[in-house]
Structure 1
């Protein structure tokens, strides 16, 4: 399943199910097939997403410091565990929410 976020203020934003479910849970929304973030709810949603992204960045930085000590032990690592940070993953949605708030438009999925 894909989540397709829509707003009359921006182009559509499509996320894979796991990522869409994660951002909906962060915003305090049920991960259902359809839903809405009203204009009144947008500031809280943005704050929740930014706080989660900052927490993820701090956790990655701490893990990176721990792994720096072990880097020489595993030189054949593919780096797949690094993945995409939550901050990068939610950035398009945060921008959509900001633009939607500025134009007084709800965001649906």
Structure 2
């Protein structure tokens, strides 16, 4: 489990699979301890936003299933946008307050 912490924002908890995926999207290896420096936050926000856009585009390309004569796309339980939104907000808050984000310490 990941617990992202900062002096500028409330703690954010992610289960390990989600945390590992988010760190990979940020170009980092999953690790039990780490830090996101203020200088890296703009790039982190950009990477997460790009990943969300790519995920949503891929979901739009998902084949449409017909059920009872009606077409619909299968829904994922929780989208990438929903999973990373709290971290993006935390990054923005911490960037404005000039405070790093740490986990595992």
If the length of structure 2 is used for normalisation, what is the TM-score? Answer: 0.88
CA distance in 1, matches of 2:28, 2:3: 15
- 1:71 lines up with 2:66 in the alignment: yes
1:1-109 residue pairs with structure 2 within 5 A? Answer: 2-63=1-62, 66-67=63-64, 70-72=65-67, 82-109=76-103
CA distance in 2, matches of 1:106, 1:86: 23
Structure 1 residue runs of 4+, over 2 Å off? Answer: none
Backbone CA RMSD of aligned residues: 1.5
If the length of structure 1 is used for normalisation, what is the TM-score? Answer: 0.85
Per-residue displacement from partner, 1:33-73 (whole Å, max 9, x unpaired)? 0000000000000000000011001111111xx22xx3227
Give the CA deviation at 1:94.
0.2
SS at match of 2:38: coil
SS at match of 1:41: helix
